[in-house]
Amino acid sequence: GNTYLAERAADVIDLKKRILSHLLGERRQSLGNLTTPVVVLANNLTPSETARLNKKYVLGFATETGGHTSHTAILAGALEIPAVVGVGAFLSDVSGGETVILDGNQGEVIIDPDESAHEKYLDSHARYLTVSQRLEGLRSLKAETKDGVRIQLMGNIEFPEEAQHCVERGADGVGLYRTEFLYLKNDREPTEQDHYEAYCRVIKAFPNKPVVIRTLDLGADKVPGSISDHFHSSNPVLGLRSIRLSLQNLPLFKTQLRAVLRAAVHGDVRMMFPLVASLLEFRQAKMVVGDVMEDLEAEGIPFRRDVPIGMMVEVPAAVMLAEDFAREADFFSIGTNDLIQYTLAVDRADPSVAALYRSGDPAILRLIHKVVDAGHKEQIPVTVCGQMSSSPIYVPLLIGMGLRQLSVTPHAIPELKEIIRQVTIPQAEQIAAHAQTLELARDVESYLQSELKKICPDSYL
């Protein structure tokens, strides 16, 4: 069937339920209005529903559909709410009130566990707390390899309040600020002032450290109600999203750009465009930035003129043109989540093909290598900011491929810092060289797992 129509059918069913509830005078409880601690079990949660979850009362959630790199899963990490996404059918076994264990490491939901399972998970949790306490001691130390090479370890954030999470874990700045969540958390379209205030909060948390603001990446699974009229695609993942949406809706784009340029006065701000696939798109986006600068100047509003402008490399076309882009962009950030999805033709939110979505696929390693080489050739910084860089097994590989900047989920920073501090550059280069000779993703992953155990035997895997 048509995925787009199936998604819209869910919207119609939801609308029908809300109309009936209203007509019957029933009070509808939002997940954002909970007053007692619960584990939420659902067929699916949209990114906007997830954004409204109250961490105080939602101890964790599990969904039948979705994928571990879907935006719902990413948001769960941002909110630091334990989540298991896309585990298949389980709601028929639940009536409400059961004891539930969410195993995020194995991606399992255990309903009414027996005593031995309960004990096993209590032991696992105790071990996790022990490792967490040890990692806490690394907070003020630099992310530096055993042989003294500095790695810039930055945080990915969705909300301004997450900047503090990054600071607390010793981040070297913000490598990816996903600004679209300003739209998803509110029922109205954010104003220029809303953007400006949100950016300033993040910038002030990181004096003299980089804050990379990505322009809005709406579309696909991130469609806010406030601007849903813009989205009518039979295949949202390949439709009007990200930079394409911004270039077709200039008032929307310019509102955000004005706020970024104004906020940049207060710190080390960089700007990047998502899902760029052609040189024309990149040049058009930069021209809009130039137009906005002229407007601000004419209005006498203070702004920063020399903001570095980079791009996400997350479409195979951008990888193939990496050398050309490197001559025009100030920096690259490799978005592995979409790069894997578009290269391997796997919908990252579809559980039926989830097993085909592999960060360690040899094709993905070659693409990353190509982008890193292009960046080095033109002497521009290259970062990896997808979920791959937050996964411990890939850190030695990425360093060995020549990356010196990683942007990761804030809660992963301490563990990744420990790994970085226990590996040498020659060791990492040897790991990367061997990994790139392997033919299958499972062999790459197995090899990286075994190498990580040698580097960091005490890590919590």
The span from the CA of 320 to the CA of 364, in Å, is 13
**Residue 269 three-state SS:** strand
**Nearby residues of 163 by Cβ (< 8 Å), 6 or more positions away:** 155, 157, 174, 201, 202, 205, 206
Q: Which of 68, 166, 385, 456 is catalytic?
A: 385
Give the distance from CA 431 to its chain's centroid.
26
The span from the CA of 425 to the CA of 400, in Å, is 6
The alpha carbon dihedral of 102, 107, 110, 111 has a sign of: positive
The position carrying tokens 């950016």 is 199
Closest CA to 333 of 434, 211, 428: 211
* ∠ Cα 134 135 138 (to 5°): 110
DSSP string, 202-228: HHHHSTTSEEEEEPP--BTTB--GGGG
**Residue 365 three-state SS:** helix
Residue 238 phi, psi (nearest 5): -105, 10
**Residue 64 three-state SS:** coil
Tally Cβ neighbours within 10 Å of residue 426.
Answer: 11
The span from the CA of 442 to the CA of 440, in Å, is 5
The span from the CA of 156 to the CA of 183, in Å, is 17
Task: Give the type of residue at 257.
Answer: L
Torsion angle of C-alpha atoms 71, 73, 77, 78, degrees rounded to 10:
20
Q: Strands 100-103, 108-111: parallel, antiparallel or unpaired by DSSP? A: antiparallel
Query: What token pair was written down for 383?
Result: 């970062």
* ∠ Cα 211 55 182 (to 5°): 40
Q: What is the CA radius of gyration of the chain?
A: 22
Q: Is residue 71 flagged as an active site residue?
A: yes
Q: Which of 71, 166, 195, 456 is catalytic?
A: 71
- Just list the catalytic residues: 71, 385
